[in-house]
Chain A
């Protein structure tokens, strides 16, 4: 545990990257998943198919492969994010961070989409019919009536998806981002005699973060239960 305590500032910095990866990809995944689910349940057949194909393709691909694609395949066909170069305090946001966010977002969006779709399916058909009957267009039906209720119904599955995302950020450790898992590797490599302490310390911090996400989810569930 000694190394863990001595190098705590580095650990915090690394968990800072973990949290930032989570927040950026989390928000973008919620937006992406919402757009995808709107395409999937919407009235336009082409979009239905496109969204369903995308979800099937990406959801069934290991996250590692998605990362690999953006780090090693995409640059070869001219897709890279080298233009990203932002530095805030001790945090650097370069192509590696951006690529990780893109990979995590594209991957997680599919799971958010499916979680929301389960929520949409839980909204009785009559709700959408009543909304259409008062003259709301599809976008209004979704925005005003279906999605707000779908979000409520899908808080638990979406929370699970976000928790998975939080842990999935560790894949970025081997794709150029010095987040918590990468920091752990540095420390276990430098302090071969304190592996267990370091593992436990890092695992504990992950548990704390996951617990925070769960608490936020529970509070949303509570707040939305009235209706």
Chain B
């Protein structure tokens, strides 16, 4: 089951890209626009060929993380960096990523990402999905397409500059997330809520001193609440954000890596980063080194 690299490369090269800075719908976060590859072709029998043939795909993304995966109430097209990377992958299959009758951007939360992949409810997960050894026991994870670290989001007038200033203080994050565990390891008291936006509320109303999770997520909230919240401190953990797929289809790994690599080479990756996370003052980093796929 050899993957035809040349054809995939051509497929990616065929993506028409443009940075949608015009903000036509009044939103300032349109991400990148990618069009379906017209000459997508995969070796028969692969999952990619099946998906391309079917012309439909389900992608798990977050709905509550501005800048990464965020869905306005009532919209069926989420926005964010994760979503844009998802679109690049979808487009490479020859499916129009903007056509929500063909692509379903399903909301996944931290808890259901593995079950959704294992049960086949989604084909891909791009939901600030950290690559870990434990997860790789259950699902496939390709990438990473982004490196982030856990930081702190505090009120604008807070004097805290890092975990050392918040020893024994209550810090909010999503219940069950690795961020909470890390916060505990850093000497802070973890307080778990259902969503990041609820934590933002708790920081704004002063119940907790800070919230913590990946810096990119925090940057999105800081941008949303400019003048009220700020991101502080050096990252105190390293998260490698990757793409989840089902272990039933190991061939997807190489396709994902190749597509990501191509998006890096033609600049789409950087544009997507810039468009989604640039506004919050984060500099576009270097493209991370991809984990090799086991063959």
Give bound CA distance, A168 to B74, whole Å. 31
A186 touches B180 (CB 8 A): yes
Give bound CA distance, A177 to B191, whole Å. 6
> Which one, B28-36, B135-143, B264-272, is touching chain A?
B135-143
In the assembled complex, B175 has its CB within 8 A of some CB on chain A: yes
A72 touches B180 (CB 8 A): no
A193 touches B176 (CB 8 A): no
A186 touches B176 (CB 8 A): yes
Give bound CA distance, A121 to B239, whole Å. 61
Residue of A nearest to B206 (CB): A82
In the assembled complex, A48 has its CB within 8 A of some CB on chain B: no
Give bound CA distance, A178 to B110, whole Å. 17
A189 touches B201 (CB 8 A): no
B137 touches A96 (CB 8 A): no
In the assembled complex, A80 has its CB within 8 A of some CB on chain B: yes
Give bound CA distance, A56 to B180, whole Å. 38
Across the interface, which residues of B come within 8 angstroms of A182, CB to CB? 175-176, 192
In-complex Cβ contact of B207 among A82, A187, A188 (8 A): A82
In the assembled complex, A143 has its CB within 8 A of some CB on chain B: no
A192 touches B134 (CB 8 A): yes
In the assembled complex, A195 has its CB within 8 A of some CB on chain B: yes
Instruction: Number of A interface residues at 8 Å Cβ cutoff, please give it.
Output: 29
In-complex Cβ contact of B137 among A82, A174, A178, A193 (8 A): A193
A195 touches B114 (CB 8 A): yes
Q: Is the interface of A mostly helix, strand, loop or mixed?
A: helix
Across the interface, which residues of A come within 8 angstroms of B190, CB to CB? 178
Residue of A nearest to B115 (CB): A195
A-B contacts counted at CB < 8 A amount to: 76
Give bound CA distance, A185 to B190, whole Å. 13
In-complex Cβ contact of B193 among A76, A174, A186 (8 A): A174
Across the interface, which residues of A come within 8 angstroms of B181, CB to CB? 186, 190
Residue of B nearest to A81 (CB): B207
- With A82-B207, A174-B175 known to touch, is A185 a contact of B111 (CB < 8 Å)? yes
Give bound CA distance, A193 to B138, whole Å. 6
Residue of B nearest to A99 (CB): B207
In the assembled complex, B198 has its CB within 8 A of some CB on chain A: yes
- With A72-B198, A173-B192 known to touch, is A95 a contact of B207 (CB < 8 Å)? yes
In the assembled complex, B260 has its CB within 8 A of some CB on chain A: no
Interfacial residues of chain A within 166-203, with CB under 8 A of chain B in the complex: 173-178, 182, 184-195
In the assembled complex, B177 has its CB within 8 A of some CB on chain A: yes
In the assembled complex, A148 has its CB within 8 A of some CB on chain B: no
Give bound CA distance, A175 to B199, whole Å. 10
Across the interface, which residues of A come within 8 angstroms of B206, CB to CB? 82
Known: A175-B193, A189-B111. 12 other contacts (CB 8 A): A71-B198, A95-B207, A96-B170, A173-B192, A174-B175, A174-B192, A176-B193, A185-B176, A185-B192, A189-B110, A191-B134, A192-B132
Q: Which chain B residues have a beta carbon within 8 Å of chain A's beta carbons?
A: 110-111, 114-115, 132, 134-135, 137-139, 170, 172, 175-178, 180-181, 189-194, 198, 201-202, 205-207
Name 25 interchain pairs, CB-CB below 8 A, sorted by A: A75-B207, A76-B205, A96-B207, A174-B192, A174-B193, A176-B170, A176-B193, A177-B192, A178-B192, A182-B175, A184-B176, A185-B111, A186-B175, A186-B176, A186-B177, A186-B181, A188-B176, A189-B177, A190-B134, A192-B114, A192-B134, A192-B139, A193-B135, A193-B137, A195-B115
